[in-house]
Amino acid sequence: MSDIDIKRISYLAKLKLPHEKEEFYANSLKDIIKWVDNLKKIDTSEIEPLHNVTEKTVSIRTDEINKSNSVDDVLSNAPERAQNFFKVPKVVE
Amino acid sequence: MVIGLEVHAQLNTSSKLFSSSPNQFGSEPNENVNFIDSGMPGMLPVMNFACIEMAIKTGFALNFNINKYSVFERKNYFYPDLPQGYQISQFEFPILTEGFINIDNEGNQKKIRIERAHLEQDAGKSIHDIDPKFSFIDLNRVGTPLLEIVSYPDLSSAEEVVSYMSSLRQVLMYIDVCDGNMQEGSLRADVNLSVRKKGGELGTRCEIKNLNSFKFIRQAIEYEYKRQIDVIENGGKIEQNTMLFDTSTGETRAMRSKEFSHDYRYFPDPDLLPVNLTQDQIDKVKTSVGELPQAKLDKFIKDYNVDKDIAKIITVEKQNAILFEKMISETDVKPKFIAAWLVGDIFAFIKENNLEVSSLNEKTKEITDLLKLVSDDVISNKAGKEILPKVLNGQGKPSDIVKELGLEQVSDSGELEKIIDEALIGEDENISKFQGGSDRVLGYFVGKCLKATKGKGNPKLINKILLERLKN
């Protein structure tokens, strides 16, 4: 099993880990992966991958507009708004 | 240089890919956003089947394999313009694979292979320049259906890229899956460019993101090409990078100094079952593909005898071709004659008045009536040009305007003969000059006769009679 790069994982998950907790979480994740790795014991070489357990096809709808809410509804959970925009800390590319 | 293109085409559906919010440009901020688009917990995406149909249509038009089985996956990343935390896209099992399009490369055809095309949702828009400390987010574009069309690295110059992109745009507009409006971002390209010595191994590529005009595509490619060559010639190495093109300076620069490389951790979206199309569903779409630009071009040239360059101008956009074909169907005036007027004075009128070409579909009867008068020599070419704007502005029937302005041409040879004979009186010196071989004198005589008819004499006829008279 490959080593866990806990810094990278927390970066990708946008979660800040206190330095002293890094090892703890790294070990917890390792345990989870070890457990899941049990699945590798099964020989699946002859089995087609399955993307969903039901064999049904995606549900579809017709191309119709249905406005079910107002701008205010959508913005009502935003921590901050400015006119009808969501206002967030500066993100610049 | 070696270039591959990823083109994002916005599908012109009414509603979004997975939600029934309007898919519309230019609305007030966050006007077209519902709880699915804004990534609220517990909301479920439901597939808009029109998007699948448009993908199938594109499949037929661009010679793709249309896959009955395709899978939507989550591409995970955090950015405020996509609150759900992942983009729903197709990754391992796209709906279209292995297509191609033929492009015009300096008069020769070149086949550009297309690796794949898949459906995905667009993200929202961040606005950074209103407030120094905050970014403003407009989620209207979230969930807009995109078809991402990924070419093989078969392109080798800025010209080819522009030709490929415009051919693609033309086809997508013809089959009515994309409005082709690049200014509004309906069609945009990511350019993957690397350089190599002739026949050498492929170099490391850089990706220039989000180019939305032919001009910018050309500029960005030219700049990036020089940049990469400079780096290599100075002993450096090209780093694989994502670049932004600065439209104000015409330069490319690296985006995101990445501390960590991206890892999108794709996996099949558990909210969406795989797409399983039936042959029947695919066949149904086939009938709606319609005639493609290349077929129209061939038809105009071969069947209608239109010059290649003019036929090209007419087939650039579907609405031009529709207008042209409507006119042809309504008159016995030669298509070639109509075509010349269409790309000349008619298009000039449209441009001058900022009109949509399709707005003339209602006026084809008047236009062809006018062209008939010109081609039958009832009025002169010049008079036709004069009347055209009046006809297009709805100032009356062509024949009425002709009468009103007294523009009818004198094509009665008896009358013209009389005028010509009068004009030749006292011109013995010039007549002998002509007979001595000076062709220029002929122009002088034609002018004199036209003047005598107050410009209404049929110039062709005057020319003919004059020649007869002068040669005797």
Residues B161 and B148: their CA atoms lie apart, in Å, by 16
pLDDT band at B32 (very low <50, low <70, confident <90, very high): very high
Q: Which residues of A touch B50 (CB under 8 A)?
A: 62-63
For residues A8 and B148, the model is more confident at: B148
pLDDT over 60 (residue B233)? yes
Query: Can you tell me which residue has the tokens 């080798």?
Result: B156
- Residue A11 belongs to a domain: yes
Residue A92 touches partner B, C-beta closer than 8 Å: yes
Rounded average pLDDT over B246-255: 88
Residue of chain A whose Cα is closest to the Cα of B79: A91
- Domain co-membership, B314 together with B421: no
Q: Is B454 left (phi over 0), alpha (psi -120 to 50) or beta?
A: left
Question: What CATH code is carried by the domain that includes residue B442?
Answer: 1.10.10.410
Per 3-state DSSP, chain A is made up of helix, strand and coil in percentages (nearest 5) of 40, 10, 55
* CB spacing of A60 vs B48 below 8 angstroms: yes
Give the A:B interface size as CB pairs under 8 Å. Answer: 136
* Number of Cβ atoms within 10 Å of the Cβ of B144: 26
For residues B258 and B13, the model is more confident at: B13
User: Looking at B348, B383, B405, which one is the last position of a domain?
Assistant: B405
Domain count, chain B: 3
* Number of Cβ atoms within 10 Å of the Cβ of B273: 20
Domain count, chain A: 1
| Residue-averaged pLDDT of chain B | 91
Rounded average pLDDT over B82-92: 96
Rg of chain A over Cα atoms, rounded to whole angstroms, equals: 22
- Residue A69 belongs to a domain: no
Of A83-87, B21-25, B91-95, B449-453, give the lowest mean pLDDT range.
Answer: B449-453
pLDDT over 50 (residue A1)? no
- Residue A33 belongs to a domain: yes
**SS3 assignment, position B108:** strand
Residue B259 touches partner A, C-beta closer than 8 Å: yes
- Dihedral sign, Cα of residue B276, residue B4, residue B269, residue A40: positive
Q: Which residues of B touch A58 (CB under 8 A)?
A: 47, 72, 272-276
Residues B471 and B347: their CA atoms lie apart, in Å, by 42
Rounded average pLDDT over B84-104: 96
- Domain co-membership, B364 together with B425: no
Residues B32 and B306: their CA atoms lie apart, in Å, by 46
* CB spacing of A65 vs B136 below 8 angstroms: no
- Residue A27 belongs to a domain: yes
- Residue A74 belongs to a domain: no
- Domain co-membership, B314 together with B358: yes
Residue ranges making up the domain that contains B196: 2-285
Residues B323 and B338: their CA atoms lie apart, in Å, by 11
Residues B71 and B93: their CA atoms lie apart, in Å, by 5
- Domain co-membership, B300 together with B449: no
Mark out the alpha helices in B179-263 (DSSP H runs): 214-233
To test the contact with chain A by mutation, choose from B76, B135, B259, B276 the residue with the greatest count of A C-beta atoms within 10 A, namely: B135
Q: Could you read off the pLDDT of B157-186 as tens digits, one per residue?
A: 999 999 999 999 999 999 999 999 999 999
Measured between alpha carbons, how far is residue A27 from residues A12, A34, B89, B397 in Å? Answer: 18, 10, 33, 87
- Domain co-membership, B246 together with B386: no
- Residue A16 belongs to a domain: yes
- φ/ψ (deg, to 5) at A83: 45, -120
- Write the residue in A8, A52, A67 that is nearest to B260 by C-beta: A8
Residue of chain B whose Cα is closest to the Cα of A75: B30
Measured between alpha carbons, how far is residue B21 from residues A71, B37, B46, B142 in Å? Answer: 12, 8, 12, 10
> pTM here?
0.84
Of B116-120, B166-170, B219-223, B457-461, give the lowest mean pLDDT range.
Answer: B457-461
- Domain co-membership, B302 together with B381: yes
**SS3 assignment, position B215:** helix
Closest by CA to B148, choosing from B56, B221, B60, B55, is: B55
* Number of Cβ atoms within 10 Å of the Cβ of B295: 12
**SS3 assignment, position B273:** coil
Residues B232 and B226: their CA atoms lie apart, in Å, by 10
User: Looking at B405, B427, B458, which one is the last position of a domain?
Assistant: B405
- Residue A13 belongs to a domain: yes
Q: How high is the pLDDT of residue A2?
A: 57
Q: How high is the pLDDT of residue B438?
A: 76
Query: Can you tell me which residue has the tokens 């107002």?
Result: A70
Q: Could you read off the pLDDT of B297-351 as tens digits, one per residue?
A: 999 999 999 999 999 999 999 999 999 999 999 999 999 999 999 999 999 999 9
- Residue A12 belongs to a domain: yes
Tokens at B324, concatenated: 């042209």
- Domain co-membership, B118 together with B208: yes
Any bridge partners for residue B252, and if so which? Answer: B245
Q: How high is the pLDDT of residue B60?
A: 98
First to last CA, chain A: 35
- Domain co-membership, B332 together with B433: no
pLDDT band at B448 (very low <50, low <70, confident <90, very high): confident
Q: How high is the pLDDT of residue B461?
A: 81
pLDDT band at B259 (very low <50, low <70, confident <90, very high): very low
- Write the residue in B30, B255, B259 that is nearest to A74 by C-beta: B30
Residues B322 and B328: their CA atoms lie apart, in Å, by 10
Residues B72 and B201: their CA atoms lie apart, in Å, by 35
- Write the residue in A60, A65, A90 that is nearest to B134 by C-beta: A90
User: Looking at B259, B285, B311, which one is the last position of a domain?
Assistant: B285
Q: Which residues of B touch A71 (CB under 8 A)?
A: 28-31, 33
Q: How high is the pLDDT of residue B445?
A: 84
Q: Which residues of A touch B48 (CB under 8 A)?
A: 60-63
Q: Which residues of B touch A57 (CB under 8 A)?
A: 273-276
In sequence order, which residues have a C-beta less than 8 Å from that of residue B97 and are 6 or more positions away?
A: B64, B65, B67, B115, B116
Residue ranges making up the domain that contains A13: 6-41
- Domain co-membership, B230 together with B371: no
